[in-house]
Amino acid sequence: VQSRELNQNDRLVLTALGRAERPLSAYDILDQTRSGSIKAPTQVYRSLQKLEGQGLVHRIEALSAFVACSDQHDHEHRPGFVICRGCNSVREFEAPKLLGLAQEVAGEEFSLESVSLEIFGRCGACKDSRPETRG
Ligand SMILES: [Zn+2]
Ligand SMILES: [Zn+2]
* Residue-wise pLDDT tens digits, 30-45: 999 987 889 999 999 9
Give the residue among 37, 33, 83 at the shortest CA–CA distance from 58: 83
Distance 129 CA to ligand 2 centre (A): 9
| Contact between 57 and 36 (Cβ < 8 Å) | no
- Nearest ligand by distance to the CA of 125: 2
pLDDT-based confidence at residue 132 (cuts at 50, 70, 90): low
Residue 50 has pLDDT above 60, yes or no: yes
Q: What is the dihedral of CA 37, 45, 27, 55, to 10 degrees?
A: -100
Residue 133 has pLDDT above 80, yes or no: no
- Nearest ligand by distance to the CA of 54: 1
pLDDT-based confidence at residue 72 (cuts at 50, 70, 90): low
Distance 29 CA to ligand 2 centre (A): 22
For the question of whether the overall pTM of this predicted structure is more than 0.85, the answer is no
CA atoms of 70 and 56, how far apart (whole Å):
8
- For residue 23, give Cα distances in angstroms to 4, 37, 71, 109: 24, 22, 16, 35
Mean pLDDT computed over every residue of the chain: 87
pLDDT-based confidence at residue 1 (cuts at 50, 70, 90): very low
Give the residue among 5, 14, 8 at the shortest CA–CA distance from 37: 8
Digit-coded pLDDT (tens) for 14-23 = 999 999 989 9
pLDDT-based confidence at residue 96 (cuts at 50, 70, 90): confident
Distance 20 CA to ligand 2 centre (A): 15
